[in-house]
């Protein structure tokens, strides 16, 4: 891997930059694999310091990631596609440096309180699923991406995570300005020149230029300026990039401290972690940290208001009593309100109904809470999202599949199961739901979503 001379010289003098070590680590071809466990489903996927999800390598060694309670390095990269628990949403495959977000949130915000958090540039969902695992049940996460197709991927990952306190939106950053003083935390994982990922994606080297770094800097300022009004007084903006360029990192922080009068928050951590403090933020150099290139900083807003006053323009349509009677046969209905739009029923956390209603009339919402299913002729046709949530009633039958059956199900092939009773049932692997089947007299209908099915062969 040859790194461009203009790129290397642009890094000279940066805090922690060691040219020899940096070039060596890029030339080494080393690849790091890491995952973050979903505490909502915490599974046996890590067992006695081993990752057990790969049928070819059934006991891959793991090591905890020091800055993230649920994060693990894996000794070798398994085939995630062929691990049913990956599809069940038991864990997320995420780059280790990015998981430092946990320290940023823990050290700057009281995560035991009900918070309103915006993840502005959220697709495919690494930071959003992490934030969801850290905030309390009665907190709200708005997970947004400006690109619609990426918003759909984000939605799929949020569904897999099995939570219901998240709203997925597809908005431009400037659309959030009208929600003045609304959010306690805004995470801006900004689009950037991407040099931090050169080791993993060498093709990105071709696209790097000083000119692009400059354009990214301007776009980053624009994004932050657009969304800043939506942050409340004393709220925190967590800014990050996967770029090494100071124009996209320290310069943005100093611009925020100056132009926006933000106060830089300092984080404390073990120096052995190898993370380098720089210009109010924290640098991750791959020759010092077991992870890719990354930068993160936290800025507290010192002006604005602590309270936000927003009128809910229209109330959502609640499911009728009759609908609720039908839903009660399927779902744990405590702590949820049921909304019906056309025939589709959504479950919203009761604590968040007002916030969800407000956001629904202000943003381009593409997903909210959990879709329970469609009510057709007085019967519920359950949705895949419902299967992956924790809301399915214990009274609903669940069929445990073996490994071969689980892969067959995830490929959306025909299933042949012995001694199955008739009707709708969950299918699960190692105690975790994969989706729905409907057992008829002469066949079993496989309701795994077509767009998610495994296409490869083992």
Helix then strand count (H, E) for the chain reads 12, 24
Element (DSSP H or E) covering residue 103: helix 101-108
Site for ligand SAM in 217-236 (CB under 6 A): 219, 223
The stretch among 140-148, 177-185, 197-205, 250-258 that binds ligand SAM (CB under 6 A) is: 140-148
Q: What is the CA radius of gyration of the chain?
A: 23
Provide, rounded to whole angstroms, the least separation between the CB of residue 121 and ligand SAM.
3
**What is the CA 214 to chain-centroid distance, rounded?**
28
Q: Quick check: 146 binds ligand SAM (CB under 6 A)?
A: yes
**Which CB, 54 or 175, lies closer to ligand SAM?**
175
Q: Which is nearer to ligand SAM, 126 or 293 (CB)?
A: 126
Q: Does 102 bind ligand SAM (CB under 6 A)?
A: no
- DSSP conformational letter for 319: P
Identify whether 50 is a catalytic site residue.
no
Task: Single out the segment in contact with ligand SAM by CB under 6 A; choices: 32-40, 124-132, 314-322, 429-437.
Answer: 124-132
CB of 157 to ligand SAM, least distance (A): 8
Which of 45, 74, 117, 123 is close enough to bind ligand SAM by CB under 6 A? 123
Site for ligand SAM contains 121 (CB under 6 A): yes
| Cα distance between residue 138 and residue 144, in whole Å | 19
Burial code of 126-162, b = ≥16 C-beta within 10 A, e = fewer?
bbbbbbbbbbeeebbbbbbbbeeebbbebbbbbbbbb
What kind and span of H or E run contains 444?
A: strand 444-446
DSSP-assigned letter for residue 110:
-
Under the binding rule (CB under 6 A), the answer on residue 124 touching ligand SAM is yes
Q: Which stretch binds ligand SAM (CB under 6 A): 32-40, 145-153, 201-209, 267-275?
A: 145-153
Does the protein bind ligand SAM through residue 125 (CB under 6 A)? yes
Q: Which is nearer to ligand SAM, 51 or 239 (CB)?
A: 239
Give the start-end residues of each E strand in 204-262.
231-241
CA 391 to chain centre: 20
**Residues with a known catalytic role:** 242
**Binding stretches for ligand SAM (CB under 6 A):** 98, 121-127, 145-147, 150, 173, 189, 191, 219, 223
């Amino acid at each position: 891997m040859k790194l461009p001379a203009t790129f290397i010289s642009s890094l000279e003098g940066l805090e922690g930059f060691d040219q020899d070590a940096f070039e060596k680590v890029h030339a080494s071809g080393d690849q790091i694999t890491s995952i973050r466990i979903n505490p909502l489903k915490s599974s046996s996927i890590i067992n006695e310091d081993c990752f057990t999800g790969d049928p070819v390598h059934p006991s891959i060694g793991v090591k905890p990631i020091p800055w993230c309670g649920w994060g693990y390095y894996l000794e070798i990269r398994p085939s995630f596609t062929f691990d049913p628990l990956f599809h069940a949403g038991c864990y997320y495959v995420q780059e280790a440096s990015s998981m430092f977000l946990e320290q940023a949130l823990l050290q700057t915000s009281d995560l035991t309180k009900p918070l309103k958090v915006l993840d502005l540039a959220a697709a495919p969902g690494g930071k959003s699923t992490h934030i969801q695992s850290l905030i309390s049940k009665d907190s709200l996460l708005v997970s947004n991406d400006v690109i619609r197709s990426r918003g759909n991927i984000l939605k799929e990952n949020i569904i897999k995570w099995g939570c219901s306190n998240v709203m997925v939106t597809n908005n431009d950053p400037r659309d959030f300005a009208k929600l003045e003083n609304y959010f306690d935390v805004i995470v801006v994982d900004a689009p950037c020149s991407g040099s931090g990922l050169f080791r993993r994606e060498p093709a990105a080297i071709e696209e790097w230029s000083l000119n692009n770094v400059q354009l990214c800097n301007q776009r980053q300022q624009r994004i932050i300026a657009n969304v800043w009004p939506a942050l409340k007084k004393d709220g925190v903006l967590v800014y990050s990039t996967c770029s090494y360029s100071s124009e996209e990192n320290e310069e943005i922080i100093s611009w925020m401290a100056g132009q926006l009068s933000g106060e830089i928050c300092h984080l404390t951590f073990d120096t052995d972690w190898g993370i380098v403090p720089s210009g109010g933020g924290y640098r991750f150099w791959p020759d010092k940290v077991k992870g890719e290139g990354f930068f993160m900083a936290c800025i507290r807003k010192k002006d604005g208001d602590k309270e936000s006053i927003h009128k809910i323009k229209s109330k959502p349509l609640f499911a009728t009593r009759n609908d609720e009677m039908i839903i009660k046969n399927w779902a744990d209905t405590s702590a949820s309100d049921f909304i019906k739009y056309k025939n589709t029923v959504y479950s919203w956390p009761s604590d968040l109904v007002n916030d969800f209603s407000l956001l629904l009339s202000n943003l381009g919402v593409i997903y909210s809470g959990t879709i329970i299913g469609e009510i057709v002729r007085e019967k519920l046709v359950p949705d895949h999202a419902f299967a992956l949530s924790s809301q399915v009633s214990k009274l609903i039958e669940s069929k445990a599949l073996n490994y071969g059956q689980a892969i067959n199900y995830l490929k959306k092939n025909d299933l042949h199961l012995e001694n199955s009773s008739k009707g709708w049932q969950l299918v699960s692997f190692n105690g975790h739901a994969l989706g729905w089947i409907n057992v008829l007299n002469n066949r079993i209908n496989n309701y795994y979503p077509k767009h998610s099915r495994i296409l490869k062969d083992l």
